[in-house]
Amino acid sequence: MARRKKDCQGGQKSGVTRRGFLSTVSAGAAAAGLAGNVEAAPVEAKELKASELIPLKLTINGQERRVLVEPRWSLLFVLREKLGLTGAKPGCDRGECGACTVIIDNHARYACMTLAVEAEGCQVTTLEGLMRGEELGPVQQAFAEQDAFQCGYCTPGQIMAAEAFLRRSPDPKIDEIRRAMSGNLCRCGAYVHIVHAVKRAAELKRQGGAL
């Protein structure tokens, strides 16, 4: 199946915005409420046959990966279930918690809200791509030093958000760090330590610890 090649912009893409999507959903819910209780038959998602899948070429952590995908599959699903890269974690699956954060062309993106086909032609970095063999990257090292986690489930997404931010702002102020990390939630409430970790990671990078 042929499809038009898309330019990867890394940041905001054209199409439905988050605000527009929420407005549409709210309007639909209101209309359904006015219409009364209407029973609808459940719709089951059917997996496509191999002959119906789309060939996709992704550049992940500097390596080219080829995979057959369904157009509806998220980047998170493809990373975890098809490529075995489990650093990005499934959390809310609706772009709220940030556990699935990856870097796409130096911008932090929620992998659960990004279609895999959108990432073609982009440079995708996952948590695994910040390692130097068995050695931690500077942001990972800083999170360990500053005890910036408890259960650890949100930590990969926190690290990726911090990495993307520090690539743009190598010497940030505390308030800038707080704003930059606001899209990632920590149910354990380790925010103070997370902010200190990002500050420490900036120092490590300036000392030559950047990848």
Out of 1.10.238.10, 2.60.40.420, 1.10.150.120, 3.40.50.300, which CATH number does the structure's domain 131-209 have?
A: 1.10.150.120
Residues 6+ apart with CB under 8 A from 47: 70
Per-residue pLDDT of the chain (211 residues; tens, 9 = 90+): 444 445 665 444 444 444 454 455 455 555 545 445 545 555 566 666 666 899 999 999 999 999 999 999 999 999 999 999 999 999 999 999 999 999 999 999 999 999 999 999 999 999 999 998 889 999 999 999 999 999 999 999 999 999 999 999 999 999 999 999 999 999 999 999 999 999 999 999 999 854 4
- According to the model, what pLDDT value does residue 78 have? 98
In the structure encoding, which two tokens stand for residue 39, read together?
């029973």
Question: Which residue in 148, 206, 211, 151 sits closest to 181, CA to CA?
Answer: 148
Quote the CA–CA distance of 182 and 43 in Å, as a whole number: 36
- According to the model, what pLDDT value does residue 106 have? 94
**Amino acid at position 76, single letter:** L
DSSP string, the chain: ---------SS--SS--HHHHHHHHHHHHHHHHHH--------PPPPPPGGGSEEEEEEETTEEEEEEE-TT-BHHHIIIIIS---SS--SSSSSSS-TTEEEETTEEEEGGGSBGGGGTTSEEE-GGGG-BTTBPPHHHHHHHHTT--SS-SSHHHHHHHHHHHHHH-SS--HHHHHHHTTTS--TT--HHHHHHHHHHHHHHIIIII--
The ranges assigned to domains in the chain are: 53-129, 131-209
- According to the model, what pLDDT value does residue 37 have? 52
Quote the CA–CA distance of 60 and 84 in Å, as a whole number: 12
What's the topology of domain 53-129?
A: Ubiquitin-like (UB roll) (3.10.20)
Entry pTM: 0.77
